[in-house]
Amino acid sequence: MTLEQQIQEAIKEAMKARNTVAMNATRAIKGEILLFKTGEGGSREVTDGDILKMIQKLVKQRKEAAEQFTAAGRPELAENELAEAAVMEQYLPKQLSVEEVREKVKEIIEQVGASSIRDMGKVMGAANKTLAGLSDGRTISTIVKELLG
């Protein structure tokens, strides 16, 4: 069963259970999938990797919105955003710890033969492919800068 099919089933289950948080979260994912399929020329096939990137983006948006709501003194809205993010995170693979990412980046630096910060582009390209879905780009970038700098 593809990730897209799993999400479609989750929407049905959330509707049956009258779980509005899960329903809103899964519908947001489905909406992103439809935008991807119809955008930029249309009739594009969507892969599980594409869906994982979409979910990561949506989770990041929800967490940033929650921070803004908290800063504005609206904890009930922040709580809703975090609840939706938690539902979305169920579809993501387990995220690597910072130490695990550091070890993977060290291996990538050796493979690419990077020696200075000028090689950051090569390292980031390889790291983003290798660690796609396992860590966010900001963490990867910070570790690459640290190891090359």
- Summarised one tens digit per residue, pLDDT across range 52-93 is 888 989 999 999 999 999 999 999 999 999 999 999 999 988
| Same domain flag for 141 and 81 | no
| Same domain flag for 85 and 15 | yes
Residue ending a domain, choose from 40, 68, 89: 89
Q: Copy the structure tokens of residue 94.
A: 């387990």
Q: Copy the structure tokens of residue 24.
A: 């809103």
Neighbours of 53 (CB within 10 A): 15
| Same domain flag for 21 and 40 | yes
| Same domain flag for 102 and 138 | yes
Confidence of residue 42 (pLDDT cuts 50, 70, 90): low
- The mean pLDDT of the chain is 89
pTM, entire model: 0.73
